[in-house]
Every structure is written in structure tokens, then in C-alpha cells.
Chain A
Amino acid sequence: MPRQKIDLAYHLEYLSILDEKGTLDEKLEPDIPDDLLLQLHRAMLLGRRFDERLLNLQRQGRIGTFAPITGQEAAQLGAVAPLRPSDWFAPSFRETAAELWRGRTMESVILGFAGFAEGAKSETKRNNLPVAIPVASQVPHAVGLAWAMKYREKNDVAMTFFGDGGTSEGDFHEGMNLAALYQVPVIFVCQNNHWAISMPRSKQTHSKTIAQKALAYDMPGIQVDGNDVLAVYAAAREAVERARSGGGPTLIECVTYRMMMHTTADDPKRYRTEEEVEIWKKRDPLPRFQNYLKARGLLSDEQIGTLEEAVKAEIQAAVDRAETQMKAVGDPLDMFDHAYAELPPYLAEQREELRAELAAIKEETHG
């Protein structure tokens, strides 16, 4: 018997609409309402400036370690923009701009990075999972959420985020396999930012692209210019619409770059060159999008200036609110809250132990 070709009829696309030189492919330009374009721009600007402010706060010792998002604003905001509130969002730990878009407040982010569990509280219940730190472990959660949506016959979707490093984890592969098998409405968004701490993308996988991993699970996969918010939005909208209408999961690889350190505890100079960073600075998603909006007559330099001021004031107000809240929360006894629906008797005893210890310390200090 001769060897026979197995025809998988599979093709992979790379999508770029607005390139780094600002050239627009008009045929591919997505139809996005003006107000949504401006909203996206504001969210990208806010994401960038908030990141910068968080870095200042961290360097001043006012918050702890965090993972900066600078450079990835388009890759995360373009992806979440087509979601509606009833959809579910399952982030990793580097999607702060997307979290804000999904309704998390800046003060809750600050509170969280300042070491207060209360940072996870938000004023209304939203369909967002909290940040997941163990890499790719959130991927199967999104599949479970999507399975439940399909079971309940809702036309909602779940969207999960992970990095290029995350695609080496078993949970990524198990999640992709399960999603394709059950044809559930989930969108896998890879933020390929080229670096997993010190490991470059080339040392993470032998595969030429991350997107091609979709082939193994027989689901659509696409690679997009992650610094082109129009391309990310177009790819995400297509995937979300397909999932909503029963077409199953999609893998989107957003090719972007981690402009900053892995977290504030890391020094990227140990493993990557300034030249590489410089190349990516020229591909910055924010000025690229601003130039597009200016060319369309939707935004002027003056308006950008006004917006910068407004965003700065908004961030300052959030920092102030967060620092006020820090004084109000933080009763050590609250660490016993939310361990279980009801505190078991032995935990109530341990809580009492701590209460007595704190009272004794207070007595010794002031008495």
C-alpha cells in the first residue's frame, strides 16, 4: 500500500490591518462605530498610564509586585471589546487593561497589589474570574463555563487569556482538546509577548506559530498583529460571533511584545537586548492607533492632550480612594472570612486564638 496524503484542508492566516508604518488595508478595515473606536482608544491610554503609575507606586513601596502590561494594550482590549457583560472572562495575570474594560475598578487593582484580598471585591457581581497566577490553569475553567452556557442554551461565550509560555502547559492542551471535543463557545486568546520571564518564544516551542496548535484540535486558529487593535478586534469579533452561533472554539494568537519586565521583581537586561526592545517600541500599538484616529478625523492632538489630563486625574482619584480604603480594611481577623461558606468550629477556635493574641499585643504596647 502506498503512503497516502491525509488532506486536512487546513490553512492558517496572519491578519494585519493597520501596520507599524500606519498603512491601512482599507479592504480589511473593520466596521467599528466611532464611539467604540474612541472608547477603545481611551481604554488603551488608561491602561498605559495606569501601568506607569502602578510602576511608580511599586518603586515607592506603596504597592507590592505586579506584572506590567505596557505594549499589550491592543492585544487585550481588542480581544475583550466584542464581549458583552453576560459573557465570561477568564484572565491570567497580565490583563489589567482588559480587567478594567470588564468593569474592575482601578482602586480594586491597587488594593490587590497592595496585598489586600479585598481588592477582588467589586461593587457589582460581574462575569469575570479573578486573576489566575498559576500559568494556564485558568484555561479549563473557561471551558467549563462555556460548557455550562451551552448546557443552559445561552448564546454567551467565555474568553480566556494566557501567554506564549502558557501554551507549553498541560492545562492549555487539555482545555483546547475539551473545548473542541464538546464544541463549546470559548475563545482562547494567546498574548504572545515573546517572553516568559527569561525564556524567548523560540525556546518555548518548536512550532513556527502558536496559532497552528489549533490544527491539532481541529479548531480555527489565527495569528494576528497583536499591536494592531483593529486586527485583534476583527479576529476576536469573528471568533465571538462563531462561538455565539454554535460554531465552537477558536484560538487567536496575538503577536505582541512585553515592553517591560515580567514583574517588578525581574530585570530583563539579564536576558534580552535593548536593540530588540527598540524594534518593538516602533511597533507601539498606542501611537499607531492614535494616528489612525487622527487620519479619520476622530481625534486631534489637542483632544489627546485633554484626554491625557482626564486619565491622569482619574488615576489619581483611584489612587486616593485606594489609599483611603487601605486604612479602612485590613483587620487581620478578616483572613478567616470566605474560607468556607460557614466557618467550621476548629477554625472559629483558631480565629479566637488570633483575636486573643492581637488583644494581648495591643495591651502590652499600650498598657
Chain B
Amino acid sequence: MAKMTMVQALNLALRQEMEKDDRVIVLGEDVGIDGGVFRVTDGLFEQFGESRSLDTPLAESGIVGMSIGMAVYGLRPVCEIQFSGFSYLNFHQIESHAARLRWRSQGQLNVPMVLRTPYGGGVRALEHHSESRETFYAHIPGIKMVIPSGPRNARALLVAAIRDPDPVIFFEGKAIYRAFREEVPEEEETLEIGMSRVVRDGKDLTMISYGAMMRPTLEAAEELKEKDGVEAEVIDLLTISPLDHQRFVKSVTKTGHAMVIHEAPRSFGPGAEIVSRLMEKAFYYLEAPISRVTGFDLTIPLFSREKEYLPGVHRIVTSARKMLKD
């Protein structure tokens, strides 16, 4: 096993899937010679050539529309949209076609494509480079929406996404691309899409999060343990849609306290759906109102203020203490 960043782990997943399966084609802006602006596709051009590591013009709708055609034909395109803030230009291709062709054709066609795109704040970027709009995609029937939280699960989930018979939107947290390393096995590893994980056991409180917010969430859980003696159970969703509620419902029936942490704006964010499922399935076990620790309902500020916008350890710990005290 080698210690890898998430960028390296994603690269490993792409390289190994491309070696195994000549249907897998990587395409997008600067993904070829340049290896992608974050270097996720680094070296694929050299190893697989231009036809499988395809540089495209600046045309998000065209890239996704073309990927749909390639997928219908039987290929397994993995397209990269350079920043999720530019993916609104391709949104209608996902909503109107990728998500619906299986249904529209009554099962005769399917769209086994992956749309990979970096999301989220915390890297001091320009406007349009920091937002978290997973709700847009999670709201579309027919789409799977995956957000890994670290190198090892990112690799395993990307392999699963490439092999999935349905379209998968794969958000990669920019803030965790290179923030830490994990052991990632060279041999094949996949994770089932639609399954969350308990990453820390606890009995007092259930913290539900995903993606780049898993780091402050786990740090907050540690601080609560050390300073307050509170044992928080932490759940990493990994997949936003189809949402695996069974695990967090089970956890909340044990802890009686739940909080959701995400950097996306609060209103109509993934937290709203998670809270609804808890109200439907764990209402009688709740000992306090569920708390949402999220980004504010604003355009994410430019980077001089993004630290104050994004949920951090302080905001999470404070919210947990308030909930447990009440």
C-alpha cells in the first residue's frame, strides 16, 4: 500500500479502469496534455493516448452531451467539468437526458457515464470556484450523486461510479484534494454506491456529514470527547443520492441527538432531506431539535471571508454543546 493524496487515488482509479476496460474514456477541458488543472488525469494522455484522454474545447454542454452519446453507444465516458461552478452550462444535459434516457426509452438505452467535478470552498479561489451545489444534482430522479471524503474511499467510489450502469455525478472536494494522505491499496477496491459509513462510534450524538466537511466534523467529535466527555457517532454519507437513511436513522435511535454538517447553503440543502427522513423514521427517539450546521444562504463570499462562511470546528462544537445542554 502506498500513501496517497485524493488526487493520486483518483488518478489510480482512472488508470486502472482504463487499463482493464477500453470502453473507459476520459474527456474534458485540459484533461489531456495538461493532466487536468488539479492533475487528476495526470499521465493518462501519455499512457493511453489522445483518443482515451481527450482534450475538449470549452463547451460544458457539448462535453456532457457528447458523453451521453458515447455512453449510449456502449462506452464508459468519464468527463471532467473543470469546476462545478461551470457545470450549470451542462445542467440541462444531465436533467433532460442523462437522467431520463433509461426511462424515456423504457429500458432500451442507458447512460453509464460519470461527471467528475471539483466542488467546495477553502482553497482561496476566484468567484465561481468554491460553491457546493450538490442539491441541484441530488434532486434529479435518475441521477446518482456521490461525494467522497478522502483518498481511499474516493478511489473505491470512482471505480464503482465508472462501472455503474446509470449516470453518476461525482463531486471532489477541492479542499481535500491534497490536504492529507491515506494508505490506498494497489489491488482493486470498490465501495457500493448508496451506502453510508459509521466512521466513529458514539452513544450521545449523531453527526452526519460528507465530503470535505468530514474533517472538521471528526475534529469536532474529538474535541467534544476530550473537553466534554461527549461521545459522538459520526456518519459519512459518501452518497447523497440515493440517500442511505437506514444507518443514520439507526444511529439516532441510539443517541437521540442528530446534527447535519454541510458547506452548502442551509435552505433546501441536503440537510433538509436528512432532517425530514429523521422526522419520518426516528421522531420518537429524538431528545432535542435536530441541528443543521451549514453554509449560510448566501453566495459563498470571496476568499477573504470564506473561512467565516464555511462550517468549522468551533461552529460544530458550539452547536453540539447547545443541543446537548437544552
A residues near B (Cβ < 8 Å) are 88, 90, 117-118, 120-122, 125, 129-130, 132, 134, 137-149, 151-152, 158, 170-171, 174-175, 177-178, 181, 337-341, 344-347
Contact = CB atoms under 8 A, between A and B. Distances in A.
Contacts of A140: 61-62, 64-66, 68-69, 93
Contact of B108 (A88, A125, A144): A125
B59 to A, nearest CB: 4
A149 B57 contact: no
Contact of A145 (B69, B102, B194): B69
B66 A345 contact: no
26 contacts: A129-B101, A134-B92, A134-B96, A137-B97, A140-B61, A140-B93, A142-B69, A144-B70, A147-B70, A148-B70, A171-B62, A175-B62, A175-B66, A177-B57, A177-B59, A177-B62, A181-B57, A338-B105, A338-B106, A338-B107, A339-B103, A340-B142, A341-B102, A341-B166, A346-B243, A347-B242
A158 B194 CA distance: 35
B72 interface: yes
A346 B274 CA distance: 13
Given A134-B96, A143-B65, A151 B103 contact: no
A132 B245 contact: no
Chain A interface SS verdict (over half): helix
A341 B105 contact: no
A224 B75 CA distance: 35
B67 interface: yes
A144 B73 contact: yes
Contacts of B62: 140, 143, 171, 174-175, 177-178
A117 B65 contact: no
A282 to B, nearest CB: 39
Nearest to A126: B108
Interface string B100-121: 0111111111100000000000
A340 B164 CA distance: 10
A340 B89 CA distance: 24
Contacts of B59: 174, 177-178
A158 B68 CA distance: 14
Interface in B224-252: 242-243, 245-246
A339 B72 contact: no
A145 B72 contact: yes
Interface string B168-197: 000000000000000000000000001000
A152 B73 CA distance: 10
A340 B193 CA distance: 13
A322 to B, nearest CB: 16
Interface string B54-89: 001101011011111111111101000000000001
Contacts of B109: 129-130
B92 A147 contact: no
B66 A117 contact: no
Given A118-B106, A151-B75, 14 more contacts: A120-B106, A134-B96, A140-B62, A143-B62, A143-B65, A149-B73, A151-B25, A171-B62, A174-B57, A174-B65, A175-B62, A337-B103, A338-B106, A344-B242
